[in-house]
Homo-oligomer: A and B are copies of this chain.
């Protein structure tokens, strides 16, 4: 293993390193259980969708050419020769001068190429309908195959399945799909003062907050958390715990692994694995600076700050994209989809040039104006600052701060 030097990278550089890891294995799931998963393969449409030209409106199926020049002052009369039922395919052909009532979703009869909305028609006596508007060919018609064409890819590998993608699969009669498994993330906590949540503790001890909070963040990112408890701050114990973690996971998180004492121990422990490489030992962001990224046995290993507030920022900024990337999500690093809220900064914020600063803020709504983003400052070890905040402001590395009154984008967390 390369060792003995510090490789501090930018946040963008860190994210680039994450791209080196391959996606986890795929599994086949029924679509009722695939919501939020990422497609592992292209899905070809087994048939056209829709299966026939269908109406988008309640109205009349017509031949567009018949209504050329029609308008309020120059209505055109057509013979109403049939009514299409929504569930039945019409067996007749529409001849010139004819129209047929058609409901939303009804199939167009042969000969018809457009639908005129019922609002622009008036029924006259004896099966005649007056049309008061021209329509273009194809108007108000969903064309056969317009959503998906038989044999062509309807959805691409790497697509995260939202409600609408699940809906498309249902529409195509695709009842199961190959999706990525949820990446299994083993979470290890370190710290001689850290005790399990169930334990009674003395004043020198704290309970294992991070295993629980990080499990939530892994779950939210689409992974499967496996909290494996507390490891003693001791080399052999740490090596054994990492080895066991690698055997049952796609990703290992060591919480506290970047604190001053444990960091050295972590580096030593990683050095015990012949196929390990430290990719980053520090990232130019705050909080989160001492984060470690290594590859061990081909798998990613993240050493996270022990302070939960710092660990949470690292998970959001670096850990979540990693989990999504391991899912094969092609939008894993797309910051366009971060949930943001525009707000006005309530006070000046100083920031150190050369690193990205993430500042916790509380949002206060104000009628008729953008909400106010109020920085939640406080001692770094307290949970209170996390509880009181709704989002983060990122102060870019090339700025030395932001002024009160600035418009900021708050990342909702």
Contacts and interface: CB of A to CB of B under 8 A. Distances in A.
State the copy count for this chain: 2
A203 B164 contact: no
A400 interface: no
Nearest to A144: B203
Interface in A108-141: 140-141
Q: Report the interface size class on chain A.
A: 35 or more
B208 A170 contact: yes
Nearest to A308: B167
A363 interface: yes
B342 A340 contact: yes
Contacts of A162: 216, 413
Contacts of A140: 379
Given A86-B192, A170-B213, A381 B412 contact: no
Contact of A197 (B175, B191, B214): B175
A17 to B, nearest CB: 22
Contacts of A169: 212
Interface stretch (A270-278, A290-298, A322-330, A383-391): A383-391
Interface in A187-213: 191-193, 197-213
A236 to B, nearest CB: 19
Interface stretch (A52-60, A67-75, A93-101, A348-356): A52-60
Listed from nearest, the 8 A-B pairs whose CB atoms lie closest are: A339-B339, A167-B213, A52-B203, A163-B216, A87-B193, A164-B386, A170-B212, A89-B204
Interface of A: 31-32, 35-36, 49-52, 54, 56, 58, 85-89, 103-107, 140-142, 146-147, 155, 162-173, 175, 191-193, 197-217, 219-220, 227, 259-261, 306, 308, 312, 336-342, 363, 365, 371, 379-384, 386-387, 390, 409, 412-413
